A and B are shown apart, each in its own frame.
Chain A
Amino acid sequence: MDGIFQQITTTADPAAVANYLKSLNPKDLRDQALASSLSSGQDPLSILNAPLNTLAVLYILVARLCVNNAPAPPLEIIDHFCRNFDPEQARYAPDRVTLLAKSIQKLALSQNNPRAAIQPLYYLVSRYPPDSSYLTTIHPIFTLTCIQATHPSAALPVLQNPITSIDTVLSDLNYNDNLIYHYTGGVLLAMLKRWPEAEEFFEICATAPGSVPAAIQMEALKKMRLVQLIAKGKASPLPKYTNQHLQRQFKGTPYHQFVTNYPTNVEILKEIINKERSLFSSEKNLGLLRQALDRAPRWALKKLTATYLSLNLADIGKAVKIDSEEEVRRLLLDMIESGDISASIAADGSVTFSDPAPQFTRAQVDAVLQNVQDQSALLEYLEKDMARSKEYLSKAVKGRGDDLGMGFQGPDEDIFAHMGSGPGGAMWADD
């Protein structure tokens, strides 16, 4: 350990430190050495400085957390590192950062206190990437920890930043990291009843491209459908790029039956829940199903507004199958408050429906316009960035090359010979 310590504290270049630590072999002896104290008995962590010696502290912390029988560092020290490390240095060892995140989660769980991992992981996930649009291996670990700690609001500052960038040099990502992050993010948003955002996260998971759908994508699709029923009263069509196998498999599940009978056939919905209770419970969807069932009268009432100009409370109760007039009033007030309907209740119990009056301010219009412009600018940037990529260019050129080959093979080759200066003739005219 003394030799390693000497090397890492006297080398200024972080790349050199990273290469040195990576190249130490065998790896298990390296980690055992890093987990030990100095020959003087001092703890190297008490001498090293997190911002200046980020790589060294990172390797030592991971070694202490992963090596068997090594004394785990207190969470306060780990937390201090996560708040103060130098991200640029840490990016030389993305695998260590992943290991650190996993070990923090594991340590907190072993102490029966998953909440203790939230802050260190939050600082790690927000400080490590160059900006919040990058997905890292820390993201799914962080969101999973928030679920384990029953602390959905702690995840909001991270979930509010959409992921638009992937860099496998920055983080040793695999395909599942994207799926798990968006699935667990959807669960956290659903816990907070932020339905539109939850739906978006589940959709990203369910529609992620792949030759064969992953099991988690089916779970995301089930939750997405339930969230759509809760928020909108109906399921929305899936994007065209959704895997067809996934949609076919979903049709064979009791969830599809539930969606099909929603919201009017309340008795059938209750039957489905009772019959498949153990399945729904094991898949952790019973809560969402109950919420959807509780909100079924709401959507049935909303359908009435398309047909009737006014009704009285008793008639509404009969139509939506609520016996108590008090409950009908409560439902109406709730729907008026949330903007689902526009209605006016009179003292005699009659309810008059109307079209909702537009309510917006200039500031809201400006904000929407600004948001649209920002999104357009981002899309334009992403499109140009993709068009510069080697994969896209090679596929585009290959595609055009195939078209050229076909053009010269047929009897029309004389036509192509007279057109334009390029080999493709008219095909290149628009470029």
Chain B
Amino acid sequence: MLPGRSHRRQRQATQGSQPSGNTPDSYQLRFPTVVDAVSRSDYDAVTQIAEEIDLNAVSDRQNSRLLAIAPLVLVYLIQNQTPPARYALARLSESHAAHPLINLLTSLLAFTTTRDHRQVYGTGEKIVDLVSQADFFHQEFGLVLTKLTTVFIEQFRRRTFELISKAYSSLPRSLAEKYLGASGEAIVAEAAKNGWEYDSGAQLLKPNASTAREERQMSSSSLSSFVFIANSVGKLEA
């Protein structure tokens, strides 16, 4: 494909994003339910609603389809479910796939899958920049995507922090900056809160392995546990 033609298609994809006609379609009509679920941070509901909207839609060519698919992809990423996110993008038509927002989401998915940390943070910033622009075709949609992208980046950073707590006995500060996409000072401050040690001379961080989520401590017994065990023994005796 010639670069010029690709550029024209992308421009058309962005400019032609306004719905045709005056009658709202099913994506536009049900978008408020997506907004509501996002505002409550009920991501299971977002998944269910967005999937249902997309399955019930009569046509899949209109650009308003992005109102369902883009939040769906981001929520799957928040939930660390990359395969359904991938197929949600794969089901889009060619014209949708050429949209700059979809290009960025596709890149974000790829970088998340390959754990290219620097690119994940960079692409997250690009998405927020794109949807925050004054001429973005749907302001409320832009706010929803900003929130979801921010939540995803925070979750990704938190999961990465827990992983390097578990995987590293010591690591250079520069490596931690790459993994966490934050400045050294911010990392050192956060690390201190989680019981890590920092050797400022060697610029080495020493994670505290017990900050990784381990629930070895058994909780105390309860009446329900007693009933359960008694029933189990009863069945063995039977």
Chain A residues proximal to chain B, CB less than 8 Å:
79, 113, 115-116, 118-119, 149-154, 191-193, 330, 332-334, 336-337, 343-347, 352, 357-363, 366, 369-370, 373, 376
Q: How far is the CA of A118 from the CA of B114 in the complex (A)?
A: 31
Q: How far is the CA of A264 from the CA of B228 in the complex (A)?
A: 47
Return the contact of B171 from the options A151, A345, A373, A376 (Cβ within 8 A).
A345
Return the contact of B115 from the options A333, A343, A373 (Cβ within 8 A).
A333
Q: Pick the 6 closest A-B CB pairs, nearest first.
A: A347-B170, A153-B84, A344-B169, A336-B167, A361-B215, A192-B83
Known pairs A119-B55, A336-B166, A337-B167 / 15 extra A-B pairs, C-beta < 8 Å: A79-B56, A113-B60, A115-B55, A116-B55, A153-B51, A191-B87, A334-B115, A336-B163, A337-B163, A343-B167, A344-B169, A345-B171, A347-B168, A352-B169, A358-B216
Residues of A near B163 (CB, < 8 A) are 333, 336-337
- Closest partner residue, chain A, to B221 (CB atom): A362
List, sorted by A's number, 13 A–B pairs whose CB atoms are closer than 8 Å.
Answer: A79-B56, A115-B60, A116-B58, A118-B55, A153-B51, A191-B83, A330-B115, A332-B167, A336-B166, A343-B167, A345-B171, A346-B168, A347-B204
Q: How far is the CA of A193 from the CA of B51 in the complex (A)?
A: 19
Chain B residues proximal to chain A, CB less than 8 Å:
51-52, 54-56, 58, 60, 83-84, 87, 90-91, 114-115, 163-164, 166-172, 204, 209, 214-216, 218-219, 225, 228, 232, 235
Residues of B near A154 (CB, < 8 A) are 51, 55
Residues of B near A192 (CB, < 8 A) are 83-84
Q: How far is the CA of A15 from the CA of B107 in the complex (A)?
A: 58
Q: How far is the CA of A151 from the CA of B52 in the complex (A)?
A: 12
Q: How far is the CA of A194 from the CA of B183 in the complex (A)?
A: 37
Q: How far is the CB of B190 from chain A (nearest CB, A)?
A: 19
A119 touches B56 (CB 8 A): yes
- Closest partner residue, chain A, to B172 (CB atom): A347
B168 touches A345 (CB 8 A): yes
Residues of B near A360 (CB, < 8 A) are 215
Q: How far is the CA of A119 from the CA of B26 in the complex (A)?
A: 16
A149 touches B171 (CB 8 A): no
| Interface SS of chain A | helix
Residues of B near A151 (CB, < 8 A) are 55, 87, 91
| Known pairs A345-B168, A352-B169; A153 contacts B87 (CB<8 A) | yes
Q: How far is the CA of A352 from the CA of B167 in the complex (A)?
A: 10
Q: How far is the CA of A345 from the CA of B164 in the complex (A)?
A: 9
Residues of B near A376 (CB, < 8 A) are 235
| Known pairs A192-B84, A359-B215, A370-B228; A115 contacts B54 (CB<8 A) | yes
Residues of A near B52 (CB, < 8 A) are 119
Residues of A near B225 (CB, < 8 A) are 362, 366
B168 touches A193 (CB 8 A): no
Q: How far is the CB of A379 from chain B (nearest CB, A)?
A: 13
